[in-house]
Structure 1
């Protein structure tokens, strides 16, 4: 009691006992891990923002700060590009049930608490709208529509350490061929094209098309588990603004769409308003 532990973050020991760094946001992960190990009541993470917002306030001026957010929602937001908290820190907090508060280093205002879902009495259906510009789209046209073709595409990409995110396949009328579209990180686009080009004889696709000028926009909320119509509202809102959806992916608490990068701001603001997230 009465003792203060001062521990450097961003570093640790690997599985062979060698000193290693934890990568971007490693200090956040260090803080949560220490809070768990020490049995702390709360882990305060001071940063350059005063909490977690319903969307990026630099784009959505009506975004508001959340008092509380669930671990799952924060993990989804972090993985989708929200840079408030590092995704591994959110994952550690959820796994070990560490209450985390994200707050500003520059003022004394309360921040946002990361808590278990049961700790939030009135849970909104959608808690936030996030986006990621770190996406690039690849489309393979005229690939044979037969068992094993997907493994022949994504196996070499995995071997080359290229992570694939969203995937959609469209079969042709004759059932013999299909078009396959998927996304990779922008930094991996050239490597992915090179890998796919290397197995062209095996894949027998007609054409490889790539587009780095896309963005992934997502709506997130644990309330989706018990409420229908979230995806419908998203699609209708984007359609009303003339925004074409190129790829769709979903999870239990998230709906993501891939759109042209030029519509990023319009999509974020329109969806934020559609889900009643605007600050009055």
Structure 2
């Protein structure tokens, strides 16, 4: 008898019919002789609707109150799912994140888990219950409700699996597993039977939305057996694990993209020690994450450099730079939107020269300029104009031999958490 965590995202429980389908699937798992814990997100677009309502009342709502509001979506889901399971004749009990023992740091909207005390969950399991836990939420030691940010329900599921010693953590979504790229863009994307934690972490960080990066980090650190599969069928999913067998001739495992990109350029900055520390230290204090950084050559003692931030942080980052102009004189600051970051990822890249050159050539043949480049041992990222994203991704997918013969399965709208 194995212990399972089964996580279902917003589209999987988007309406009453889908909720009933999830209930049947969960009960089937228990009837197979397994103990089952379930993590669910808010139904469908509930979270977006709550955000819209909040901003109609207050364009800048307090983060604490937003957490109070946002956690209600998951509480609706867990109660309804428990009712649906009960209607099938099985025992179920639902818990909020804090009832399930999730303790977090005091950072509203983006809290990290500090501890999990799943005693109540384990006791309920021993009593024969299917235990349902609200995703994406916890509580500080001082009793403040917090949320983990978008993708946080994945993290809840993996962390719960680690804390309870679960044998499997299954992430159910609207596709059959992890694909070589977004099957909504490339219809014959290849489903991967397995992928390493490191490759999955790169893909998740680079824009692949199937798994949240923090969840992958947690799984890697705690060696959680992670499986991504569809809630719409019973096909085999993708196993995320420590090491995978290298497929013959496959150098690149996947292609990811991120539309949430803006470039900021700081022009005419004095080339003296401490400049970069001041710029990026100020951005860090404002909690703005910086990705790719490129510095040009030095002319007459001055340099230009550019970096990328999330599109949502662009205006805020510009204001930060304008605020330090008195301490750090520069000639101008500019920003550019309408960009995307396209990335190739693969453990096989380490031992195969020329992979980046091939990527640059493929992009150039689409008539697209490369504006910025970033590399690591297992990935190459290029920032390009977003107008030809689909063409670039499709061309790269073909160039690296990732096309499958069959059409990828996409079951419904993308899960949001």
- What is the TM-score normalised by the length of structure 2? 0.63
Give the drift of 1:88.
Answer: 1.4
Distance in 1, matches of 2:233 and 2:341, equals: 33
Distance in 1, matches of 2:351 and 2:199, equals: 15
Distance in 1, matches of 2:239 and 2:384, equals: 31
Give the drift of 1:16.
Answer: 4.9
Paired position in structure 2 for 1:203: 328
Give the drift of 1:18.
Answer: 4.7
Distance in 2, matches of 1:45 and 1:202, equals: 49
Equivalent residues in 2 for 1:30-49 (5 A)? 30-49=156-175
Matched, 1:246 2:383: no
Paired position in structure 2 for 1:190: 315
Paired position in structure 1 for 2:200: 74
Give the drift of 1:97.
Answer: 1.2
Give the drift of 1:17.
Answer: 6.0
Distance in 2, matches of 1:224 and 1:9, equals: 39
**Larger RCO (CA within 8 A; separation ≥ 6):** 1
Give the drift of 1:133.
Answer: 0.5
Paired position in structure 2 for 1:103: 229
Give the drift of 1:15.
Answer: 5.1
Per-residue deviation, residues 2-35 of structure 1 (Å, max 9, x unmatched) = 6543140323343556543333222222221222
Paired position in structure 1 for 2:264: 138
Structure with max Cα Rg: 2
Distance in 2, matches of 1:22 and 1:242, equals: 40
Give the drift of 1:61.
Answer: 2.0
Distance in 2, matches of 1:267 and 1:222, equals: 22
Equivalent residues in 2 for 1:124-273 (5 A)? 124-174=250-300, 176-273=301-398
Q: In structure 2, the residue corresponding to 1:236 is in which secondary structure?
A: helix
Equivalent residues in 2 for 1:79-98 (5 A)? 79-98=205-224
Q: In structure 1, the residue corresponding to 2:287 is in which secondary structure?
A: coil
**Do the aligned partners of 2:246 and 2:348 also contact (CA within 8 Å) in 1?**
no
Q: In structure 2, the residue corresponding to 1:28 is in which secondary structure?
A: helix
Q: In structure 1, the residue corresponding to 2:370 is in which secondary structure?
A: coil
Give the drift of 1:138.
Answer: 0.6
Distance in 2, matches of 1:169 and 1:139, equals: 10
Q: In structure 1, the residue corresponding to 2:260 is in which secondary structure?
A: coil
Q: In structure 2, list runs of 5 or more residues that go unmatched.
A: 2-32, 37-124, 126-130, 406-417
Give the drift of 1:219.
Answer: 0.4
Distance in 2, matches of 1:198 and 1:55, equals: 40
Give the drift of 1:263.
Answer: 2.1
Paired position in structure 1 for 2:150: 24
